[in-house]
A and B are shown apart, each in its own frame.
Chain A
Amino acid sequence: MVPLLVSVLEAAFVMALILAILLVAYGLAIRTTRTLTRGSEEKRRPFACGEALRPTETGLPDASMYWAVWRKLFRSFYNTIRDKVHTGILSDWLFWMFIFLVILAIVFVVVMA
């Protein structure tokens, strides 16, 4: 078990080192960008088809922007799993739970047979 712990610690150290390098690179990139855009407010304003928008008009929360790619990629999966299964309606939940109970019963009947 000790070699395992050593391997894990080595992996943790390597990951921490990579993270530190990435953070330093990120910091440098931010510094450079700030130098380039100093004095300009333009980059901070949202645009749609060249028209300036107020932040409230964009209708896109920051949280959505962060995961937009992932959500777009698996849109159909999410549409099914969220809008058809996780509806928040009690009778829908009980329907799925009942289906599970029926499947379990069928499996047991088959096993006993």
Chain B
Amino acid sequence: MDSNVIAQVGAIQPFLAIASAFVLPLLSLIVKRRTAWESFALTIATINFVLSILLTYSLYTSSTQPLVYAFGAWPPPVGIVYELDRANALMGLLITGLVLAATVFSLRYMEHDTGVQYYYTLLLGFEAGMLGCVYTGDAFNLFVMLEVMSVAAYGLVAFRRHVPEAVEAAVKYAIVGSVATTVYFIALVFAYGAFGTLNMADLALKLRGSTLPVTGLPPGNVFLGSAIFLALTFWAFSLKAAIAPNHFWLPDAHPAAPSPISALLSGIMVKVAVFALMRYLFTIFRGAPPAVPIVQVLDYALIVLGVASATIGSALTLLQRDIKRLIAYGTILNIGYIAMGMGLGNQSGLTAALFHLVNHAVGKALLFMAAGAIIHAAGTRDFDELAGVGKRMPLTSAALLIGALALAGAPPLNGFMSKLWLFMAYLETGWLAPLVVVIVVTSVLGLMGYMKVFYHVYTRQPVKDISSIREAPGSMVAPLLVLAGLCILLGLIAPLFVDQVISPAVSSLFDYQGYASAAQSFVQAIFRGG
């Protein structure tokens, strides 16, 4: 396939999602049938997933260099560009796949709710924001798409506005989230003042003494600008990614949302922030002479904060009596592992981090949706009241068990394999090797926490009459089984998956030259009239 067409396939995805988000409320004024709104959202989610498969397949099989798409044909660094490589194509596939699973799950899960046209509107906006964040090659456009994603997320958390807890969680989340995006905006002001550009490829080039046309040499102090920009950006994205001590909002916000949304918030939204950090730390700033000491400090910060996240997350999972809150604390634990992998700053650390990112996205989405199916049937989130409910829902319970074991790190499931990669990456480092103790101890605590879910839901004797509870409907069980199958498959084919999928994505993240030269070639082609 022609590289221009592949780039357009990527660029059309966020546009399709956001345009559909505007169309759906208008459609709901004309067509009053709920099934029509659901079919519309499902169709868009399916199209985006198919486009993502096409994009990922094309980038992995035919294109070695990132592809550039310029909006309105304005070349970088003047116009906004999407720069598509294997790493963000993989993220796009995860996003669209999980959004599709959540949409299918929502069909029956949201059956008792009113105003679902706005639910799907926000869901499509959410997908557009996440895709825009990972595809963009422009630091300011990242801010815009971050806001699109965040505003949709605040709305989705507060969707059940008759529940006071949901409204409170959404307000707190919105305040904290707005602080993060504001801090990122301030960081952009410093970056623009120092570099005179916000195009990511141009930033990478200017850090290394080169430049794209038009913006010229950096007008400010690159070292100072890099330091302030990276410090503020790191803080803002650590908040969005719920890395301790910026994690407080997550255990309140994620459980308050409808379960398919909790699956997306914990499964993929926090990873979008992690991916943005990966893009800045590994592709743009790493290896650039003025940024070397700054990136080194941030590497250590990631390790320290990763250890703190893993410790806090694992310890607090044990205290929870709310099934969704427990799973939400598990996200903080696993984000800690991802941060620890990134903090190593090398190929093996980033491979472990990216592999665990994928595995946790799949496992956490599975766990939240399985918990959602149980909550949908039992009408409660409290462990004491959920006792024994799982016995009436064997397929959902099986999926719940697989998700819990995968995230707890039981072999040969996917979570175990990525923890093994992280373990080996730390052993390779020498002086940081003792930190494997943290991985082992927090994994044991995580296992205890996740098994607590299964113990209460399945093993305990019921405390009330559960004879009316039935297995979840097919449209809710199907995504669970697919995700459970993925947890097993990704574990069994882990070496092959890492070799064929994760490693090329990691190479893309390290390849600043490829990233910058793709933009340079694009500009030169436009100047030549191509």
Interface residue B217 (Cβ < 8 Å from any Cβ of A): no
Chain B at the A interface: mostly helix, strand, loop or mixed?
Answer: helix
Interface residue A48 (Cβ < 8 Å from any Cβ of B): no
Interface residue B482 (Cβ < 8 Å from any Cβ of A): no
Interface residue A112 (Cβ < 8 Å from any Cβ of B): yes
Q: How far is the CA of A108 from the CA of B235 in the complex (A)?
A: 12
Q: Which residues of B contact A5 (CB under 8 A)?
A: 412, 492, 494-495
Q: What 0/1 readout, one digit per residue, does chain B (402-421) give for beta carbons within 8 Å of chain A?
A: 00000000111000110010
A67 and B456 form a contact (CB under 8 A): no
A81 and B223 form a contact (CB under 8 A): no
Which one, B235, B495, B496, contacts A101 given CB within 8 A?
A: B235
Q: Which residues of A contact B412 (CB under 8 A)?
A: 5, 8-9, 12
Decide: A97 near B239, CB < 8 A? Known: A1-B495, A108-B294, A108-B297.
yes
Within A54-91, the residues touching B (CB, 8 Å) are 61-63, 66-67, 70-71, 74, 77-78, 81-82, 86, 88, 90
Which of A9, A12, A70, A101 gathers most chain B CB within 10 Å? A101
Interface residue A96 (Cβ < 8 Å from any Cβ of B): yes
A100 and B315 form a contact (CB under 8 A): no
Interface residue B45 (Cβ < 8 Å from any Cβ of A): no
Q: How far is the CB of A63 from chain B (nearest CB, A)?
A: 5
B176 and A111 form a contact (CB under 8 A): no
Q: Which residues of A contact B455 (CB under 8 A)?
A: 66
B496 and A1 form a contact (CB under 8 A): yes
Which one, B176, B227, B246, B420, contacts A8 given CB within 8 A?
A: B420
Interface residue A105 (Cβ < 8 Å from any Cβ of B): yes
Interface residue B387 (Cβ < 8 Å from any Cβ of A): yes
Interface residue B502 (Cβ < 8 Å from any Cβ of A): no
Interface residue B234 (Cβ < 8 Å from any Cβ of A): yes
Closest B residue to A99 by CB, please name it.
Answer: B245
Q: What 0/1 readout, one digit per residue, does chain A (1-24) give for beta carbons within 8 Å of chain B?
A: 110110011011001000000000
Decide: A112 near B460, CB < 8 A? Known: A1-B496, A4-B495, A97-B239.
no
Which one, A12, A62, A82, contacts B384 given CB within 8 A?
A: A62
Q: Which residues of A contact B494 (CB under 8 A)?
A: 5, 8
Interface residue B383 (Cβ < 8 Å from any Cβ of A): yes
Q: Which residues of B contact A97 (CB under 8 A)?
A: 176, 179, 239, 245-246, 248
Q: Which residues of A contact B411 (CB under 8 A)?
A: 8-9, 11-12, 15
A90 and B316 form a contact (CB under 8 A): no
Interface residue A94 (Cβ < 8 Å from any Cβ of B): yes
Which one, B176, B223, B318, B387, contacts A71 given CB within 8 A?
A: B318
Interface residue A47 (Cβ < 8 Å from any Cβ of B): no
A74 and B315 form a contact (CB under 8 A): yes
Interface residue B293 (Cβ < 8 Å from any Cβ of A): yes
Q: How far is the CA of A25 from the CA of B494 in the complex (A)?
A: 34
Q: Which residues of B contact A11 (CB under 8 A)?
A: 411
Q: How far is the CA of A104 from the CA of B410 in the complex (A)?
A: 36
Decide: A111 near B297, CB < 8 A? Known: A8-B416, A88-B252.
yes
Interface residue B160 (Cβ < 8 Å from any Cβ of A): no
Q: What 0/1 readout, one digit per residue, does chain A (23-48) give for beta carbons within 8 Å of chain B?
A: 00000000000000000000000000
Sample of 20 more A-B contacts, CB < 8 Å, known A100-B235, A104-B301: A8-B411, A8-B416, A9-B411, A12-B411, A61-B321, A63-B456, A67-B318, A67-B319, A67-B448, A70-B318, A78-B315, A81-B315, A82-B316, A93-B172, A97-B246, A99-B245, A100-B245, A101-B235, A108-B228, A111-B227
Q: Show 27 A/B contacts (Cβ-Cβ < 8 Å), sorted by A.
A: A1-B498, A4-B420, A5-B412, A8-B417, A8-B420, A15-B410, A62-B460, A63-B321, A63-B456, A67-B319, A67-B452, A77-B315, A78-B315, A81-B316, A88-B252, A90-B172, A93-B248, A94-B179, A96-B245, A97-B176, A97-B239, A97-B246, A101-B183, A104-B235, A107-B297, A108-B231, A108-B297
Across the A-B interface, the 3 shortest Cβ-Cβ residue pairs: A1-B495, A93-B248, A12-B411
